[in-house]
């Protein structure tokens, strides 16, 4: 009988078995066996010990470095998140939920690169060449210049890469490619890992910059792309809600740049458009009603004003609902607990809904204070003290009810001032309207904090 070409290796203890099993015989863990290609000539490998020569370690100060060259994608926001453009020979993973615009973004980038005279290649395992063309037609002339291959077999893709030697290649998506030796379905952990590492070897050998597109479910739970994070140079996450038009692109890992950068895009009928005046749009839409506060946030090195809205309503449910959009759920739980314990705003028996307007996601502790003010305003039905003068806020809320400073206070306040928000409630030492505790911040925002009837 032919020897199987694959083995199943436990991702927890490393035990290997020829066949898949639900429980690892080595460590008794469930669902940890992952299919891998059998290593070639495993038995003869011990003979290499005598042949290998010791490497000579060098002090880092003697290592030569050249400035990293960059290929501009022609999309300013994308270049910025990448740290100045695509690095030749690098491997980028672009993750995001289906329909968010990954194919659109990569199509546009390749179109611009092709227009700038770069050799490009778009490999699609999801769509036929005709479907890709339909999209490219919406994106303008540049996108139509990109050579495409619709293929799902990784060996064919690699042979194509070696024959074409593009400078930049997009694989859309890594979950649709499959290696023939592995029996697992495309998209399984073993397949994704094998496909990506094979592509990486070719890419590094020929200095091809590769963008691997990967789907991530809302929970980020899908095995696929997450297992690649350690392998690639750069992990980009494309987020937003499909029904909304705004999208944020964020770097979660970047060997050639900062991970704090983020870009904002809007999906239009002609593709993704960079949103450079995001603050102006979000503030312009702010309602200034009770339960609405402008958050002076930082998106990487850039300040961004967004409106945080809260609704507090009596609940029939036990436990009551906590629905949050664009913020971390656990952070909301913390803010609600501190509001109840240290600021006298209890919402224990009410449903609380908090939303960052526009569908952007804010991932920083500086959002706490704005959330707290929005919830307090909604719970009390109290408008801000000077409703004609809209209010902004930022700051982290500590567990004892104190306000803690966050990064770049002066840039946040400047950005708020730029859009006419003169009152910015902020932690001590930040400039602006300073408050030491959440209670003081509530007082600053709502005046004496006296309860007014909700209907008023």
Footprint of Mg ion (CB under 5 A): 103
Judged by CB under 6 A, does residue 138 bind ligand TYD? yes
Token look-up 């210049």 returns 145
CA distance 255 to 232: 9
DSSP per position, 224-253:
HHHTTTTTSSEEEEEEE-TTSSEEEEEEEE
Name which of 31 and 131 has its Cβ closer to Mg ion.
Answer: 131
**Shortest distance, position 15 Cβ to ligand TYD, whole Å:** 37
Judged by CB under 6 A, does residue 132 bind ligand TYD? no
Instruction: Say how many residues touch ligand TYD, by CB under 6 A.
Output: 15
Residues 352-411 close enough to bind ligand TYD by CB under 6 A:
none
Sorted by sequence, the CB contacts under 8 Å of residue 324 that are 6+ apart come out as 332, 353, 354, 355
- For the chain, the C-alpha Rg in angstroms (whole number) is 26
Instruction: Give the range of 38-46, 56-64, 134-142, 356-364 binding ligand TYD by CB under 6 A.
Output: 134-142
**Shortest distance, position 128 Cβ to Mg ion, whole Å:** 13
CA distance 391 to 428: 17
Beta strand ranges found along 161-245 (DSSP E):
168-172, 209-215, 234-240
Name which of 103 and 355 has its Cβ closer to ligand TYD.
Answer: 103
Judged by CB under 6 A, does residue 104 bind ligand TYD? yes
Judged by CB under 6 A, does residue 65 bind ligand TYD? no
Buried/exposed 33-60: b ≥16 CB within 10 Å, e otherwise: bbbbbeeeeeeeeeeeeeeeeeeeeeee
How many Cα atoms occupy the beta-carbon half-sphere of 135 within 13 Å?
20
Contact by Cβ (8 Å): 408, 299: no
Judged by CB under 6 A, does residue 346 bind ligand TYD? no
Sorted by sequence, the CB contacts under 8 Å of residue 69 that are 6+ apart come out as 87, 88
Judged by CB under 6 A, does residue 110 bind ligand TYD? no
Given 82, 100, 293, 379, the residue binding ligand TYD (CB under 6 A): 100
Sorted by sequence, the CB contacts under 8 Å of residue 345 that are 6+ apart come out as 339, 375, 376, 379, 380, 442
**Shortest distance, position 235 Cβ to ligand TYD, whole Å:** 16
CA distance 440 to 291: 18
DSSP state of 362: -
In this chain, which residue has its C-beta nearest to Mg ion? 103
Token look-up 């290929």 returns 71
Contact by Cβ (8 Å): 291, 284: no
Pick one of Mg ion, ligand TYD, none as the site partner of residue 326 (Cβ within 5 to 8 A by kind): none
Q: Which tokens in the block code for residue 186?
A: 């495309």
**Shortest distance, position 132 Cβ to ligand TYD, whole Å:** 10
Judged by CB under 6 A, does residue 101 bind ligand TYD? yes
**Shortest distance, position 127 Cβ to Mg ion, whole Å:** 7
Judged by CB under 6 A, does residue 102 bind ligand TYD? yes
**Shortest distance, position 155 Cβ to Mg ion, whole Å:** 23
Instruction: Give the range of 6-14, 96-104, 229-237, 380-388 binding ligand TYD by CB under 6 A.
Output: 96-104
Closest C-alpha to 210, from 184, 236, 239: 236
- Bridge partners of residue 298, in order along the sequence: 303
Given 4, 14, 99, 344, the residue binding ligand TYD (CB under 6 A): 99
Judged by CB under 6 A, does residue 133 bind ligand TYD? no
CA distance 213 to 172: 5
**Shortest distance, position 217 Cβ to ligand TYD, whole Å:** 12
**Shortest distance, position 107 Cβ to Mg ion, whole Å:** 9
Cα angle 140, 272, 144; round to 5: 25
Instruction: Give the range of 83-91, 94-102, 216-224, 327-335 binding ligand TYD by CB under 6 A.
Output: 94-102
**Shortest distance, position 129 Cβ to ligand TYD, whole Å:** 15
Instruction: Give the range of 266-274, 296-304, 311-319, 427-435 binding ligand TYD by CB under 6 A.
Output: 266-274
Name which of 126 and 414 has its Cβ closer to ligand TYD.
Answer: 126
**Shortest distance, position 172 Cβ to Mg ion, whole Å:** 6
Instruction: Give the range of 55-63, 82-90, 132-140, 144-152 binding ligand TYD by CB under 6 A.
Output: 132-140
Name which of 196 and 305 has its Cβ closer to Mg ion.
Answer: 196
Residues forming contacts to ligand TYD in the complex (CB under 6 A) are 96, 98-104, 135, 138-139, 267, 269-271
């Amino acid at each position: 009988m032919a020897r199987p070409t694959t083995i199943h290796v436990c991702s927890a203890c490393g035990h290997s078995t020829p066949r898949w099993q639900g429980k690892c015989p080595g460590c008794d863990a469930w669902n940890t066996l992952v299919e891998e290609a059998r290593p070639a000539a495993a038995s003869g490998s011990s003979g290499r010990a005598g042949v290998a020569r010791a490497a000579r370690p060098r002090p880092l100060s003697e290592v030569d470095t050249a400035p990293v060259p960059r290929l501009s994608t022609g999309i300013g926001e994308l270049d910025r998140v990448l740290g100045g453009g695509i690095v030749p020979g690098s491997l980028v993973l672009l993750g995001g939920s289906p329909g968010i615009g990954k194919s659109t973004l990569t199509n546009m980038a390749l179109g611009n690169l092709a227009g700038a005279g770069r050799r490009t290649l778009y490999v699609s395992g999801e769509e036929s060449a005709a479907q890709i063309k339909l999209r490219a037609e919406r994106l303008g002339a540049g996108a139509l210049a990109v050579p495409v291959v619709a293929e799902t077999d990784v060996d064919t893709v690699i042979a194509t890469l070696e024959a074409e030697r593009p400078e930049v290649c997009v694989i859309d998506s890594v979950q649709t490619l499959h290696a023939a030796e592995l029996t697992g379905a495309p998209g399984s952990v073993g397949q994704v890992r094998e496909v990506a590492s094979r592509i990486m070897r070719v890419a590094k050998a020929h200095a091809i910059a590769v963008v691997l597109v990967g789907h991530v479910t809302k929970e980020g739970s899908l095995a696929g792309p997450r297992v690649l994070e350690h392998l690639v140079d750069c992990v980009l996450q494309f987020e937003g809600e499909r029904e909304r038009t705004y999208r944020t692109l964020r770097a979660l890992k970047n060997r050639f740049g900062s991970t704090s950068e983020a870009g904002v895009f809007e999906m239009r009928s002609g593709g993704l458009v960079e949103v450079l005046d995001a603050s102006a749009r979000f503030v312009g839409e702010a309602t200034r009603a009770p339960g609405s506060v402008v958050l002076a946030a930082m998106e990487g090195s850039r300040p961004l004003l967004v409106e945080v809205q809260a609704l507090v309503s009596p609940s029939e449910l036990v436990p009551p609902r906590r629905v949050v959009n664009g913020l971390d759920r656990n952070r909301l739980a913390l803010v609600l607990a501190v509001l109840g314990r240290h600021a006298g705003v209890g919402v224990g028996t009410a449903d609380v809904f908090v939303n960052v307007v526009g569908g952007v996601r804010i991932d920083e502790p500086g959002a706490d204070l704005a959330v707290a003010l929005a919830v307090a305003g909604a719970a009390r039905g109290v408008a801000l003290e000077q409703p004609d003068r809209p209010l902004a806020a930022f700051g982290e809320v500590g567990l004892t009810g104190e306000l803690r400073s966050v990064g770049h206070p002066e840039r946040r306040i400047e950005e708020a001032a730029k859009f006419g928000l003169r009152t910015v409630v902020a932690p001590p030492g930040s400039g602006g309207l300073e408050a030491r505790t959440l209670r003081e911040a509530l007082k600053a925002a709502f005046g004496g904090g006296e309860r007014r009837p909700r209907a008023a």
